Amino acid sequence: MTRLLIKNCRMINPKTEVEQYTDILINNGVIEAIKKDIEIEADEIFDASHLIATPGLMDIHSHIAPSLIPICVNPDNAGIETGVTALCDAGSLGWKNYEEGRSLIEKHYKTDVFHFLHLAPEGQVQLPETGYDELDIDAINRLINQNKDQIVGIKVRAVESSILFRQYDIFKIAAEIAHSNRIPLMIHLGDHNHKVLTSDELYQATSNILEYLKAGDILTHAFTSAPGGIIKDGKPIPRAKEAICKGVLLDMSPGLGHMSFNVLQSAICQGIKPNLFGTDVVLLDSSKEFLKPHFYSVSVIASKLMAIGLNLHEVIRMATVNVAMAINKSSEYGSIEVGRKADITLLKIIEGRSMFHDGGCGNVIHGNKLLSPQWVIKSGELYKVNKEFSNHRVDPMIFQALMERQGGKKNG
Ligand SMILES: [Zn+2]
């Protein structure tokens, strides 16, 4: 391990509400000093003039169990290569395959990984989930207790197959398990593929589920246009405002079609803002690789939120300390402070008109700033961000190709 001195960065640290031009000295992976004009012998001096230093970006919603779950990606591809130092896997694994998944990830990757454990025994190994009839609450509780460092929540999806499951109320049980273990329940909202329930029935089901939630629980894809979201025809569904007042958190993880700019804009106009966002990164087939930076980069999604009207400090807060707080890790993650592990993202703001797309919903907006990750410091080690992400230019050709591939899907 070495002594690394970051010179002249613009540090934005939402947790302590500090913004300052400063140097940051890192020693053996730990932040040793934050002040101007540090003059000291260091093994490496890095000139960060013109770069913004934020706490290491965190992704509240990813899918990262390589080789075990078909939709999952390699944690470092979604993590340090995109400027992200910690990822939360959103229910890829359940109690039957969690231990195998954890051991695979721990052996090979640098990015920190946390898990929302799925209530379905094998998580999202296939969708819709199967195996709910094998519920073993003791096994789930045991696993949570044995892995308190990494299991930070429970996940279920409010989709037709789960809502129609008759053996027990999946959402009530999931809430009980999460709350008795003092961890949040994350609920996926929206079902694009419903066949039995009507749209109204899906919205009603979501409204019923909201009753089970407590402060700190998370509604993921909260700004979806699919039936079963919390915004219907531009207005919040019954109990949505109550849930928000109670402290239920709204996560705007978009994936390729789980966030509509129209829904998000109308929610924000009514005072309903996201608390969190992640990527919902999954493995793309190689024919869609070109879409990756646009949809699966925390920084590009932050840029989309800025184009909608949120400010730089808000979006950095949402991707750092808010995630750390949501998973009960804010004493270790989400802040740049002396004595803490040195997880820092170095970003550049690229000025100029950018186009942003919301994927499956087919809407385009324009912004004038693109947050571009350049370097990332993980546990004191400096890494260059993958060019695909750092140089990402929002090219009109992307949208042309996207629309063609979607077959001209309607607005949402
Ligand atoms: Zn997901």
**CATH code of the domain covering residue 135:** 3.20.20.140
Same domain for 231 and 115? yes
**CATH code of the domain covering residue 342:** 2.30.40.10
Same domain for 345 and 385? yes
Instruction: Find all residues with CB under 8 Å of 86, minimum gap 6, and list them.
Output: 56, 58, 59, 79, 111, 112, 113, 114, 323, 333, 343
Same domain for 13 and 69? no
Same domain for 67 and 9? no
Ligand 1 midpoint to CA 28 (Å) = 35
Residue 411 is predicted with a pLDDT of 55
Supply the range of the domain harboring residue 82: 57-326
Same domain for 49 and 63? no
Same domain for 139 and 8? no
Bridge-based pairing of strands 18-27 and 3-13 is: antiparallel
Ligand 1 midpoint to CA 139 (Å) = 24
Ligand 1 midpoint to CA 92 (Å) = 8
Residue 66 is predicted with a pLDDT of 73
Same domain for 7 and 138? no
Same domain for 135 and 29? no
In a domain, 345, yes or no: yes
Ligand 1 midpoint to CA 31 (Å) = 33
In a domain, 255, yes or no: yes
Distance, in Å, from the CA atom of 257 to the CA atom of 358, rounded to the nearest integer, reads 7
In a domain, 346, yes or no: yes
Same domain for 301 and 359? no
Same domain for 236 and 183? yes
Helix (H, G, I), strand (E, B), or coil: what is residue 82?
helix
- Residue that finishes a domain, picked among 293, 326, 359: 326
Distance, in Å, from the CA atom of 242 to the CA atom of 246, rounded to the nearest integer, reads 6
Same domain for 143 and 15? no
Distance, in Å, from the CA atom of 55 to the CA atom of 361, rounded to the nearest integer, reads 32
* Residue showing tokens 């002396």: 338
Ligand 1 midpoint to CA 301 (Å) = 15
Ligand 1 midpoint to CA 338 (Å) = 34
Ligand 1 midpoint to CA 255 (Å) = 7
Residue 287 is predicted with a pLDDT of 73
User: What tokens were used for 321?
Assistant: 């300390």
Longest CA pairwise span in the chain (Å): 68
pTM score of the predicted model: 0.95
Ligand 1 midpoint to CA 127 (Å) = 11
User: What tokens were used for 260?
Assistant: 């509509």
Ligand 1 midpoint to CA 96 (Å) = 19
In a domain, 205, yes or no: yes
- C-alpha distance from residue 32 to each of 5, 35, 75, 328 (Å): 10, 10, 28, 24
Helix (H, G, I), strand (E, B), or coil: what is residue 54?
strand
> Using alpha carbons only, what angle is made at residue 123 by residues 117 and 127, rounded to the nearest 5 degrees?
140
Distance, in Å, from the CA atom of 85 to the CA atom of 347, rounded to the nearest integer, reads 13
**Total number of domains in the chain:** 2
Ligand 1 midpoint to CA 367 (Å) = 26
Ligand 1 midpoint to CA 78 (Å) = 13
Residue 406 is predicted with a pLDDT of 59
- Tens of pLDDT, residue by residue, the chain (412 residues): 589 999 999 999 999 999 999 999 999 999 999 999 999 999 999 999 999 999 999 999 999 987 778 888 899 999 999 999 999 999 999 999 999 999 888 878 999 999 999 999 999 988 999 999 999 999 999 999 999 999 999 999 999 999 999 999 999 999 999 999 999 999 999 999 999 999 999 999 999 999 999 999 999 999 999 999 999 999 999 999 999 999 999 999 999 889 999 999 999 999 999 999 999 999 887 777 777 888 899 999 999 999 999 999 999 999 999 999 999 999 999 999 999 999 999 999 999 888 898 988 888 899 999 999 999 999 999 999 999 888 877 666 666 766 666 554 555 6
DSSP 285: P
Ligand 1 midpoint to CA 25 (Å) = 37
Ligand 1 midpoint to CA 162 (Å) = 15
Ligand 1 midpoint to CA 279 (Å) = 8
In a domain, 332, yes or no: no
Ligand 1 midpoint to CA 123 (Å) = 11
Ligand 1 midpoint to CA 61 (Å) = 6
Residue 266 is predicted with a pLDDT of 96
Q: Are 364 and 355 in contact (CB under 8 A)?
A: yes
Same domain for 77 and 19? no
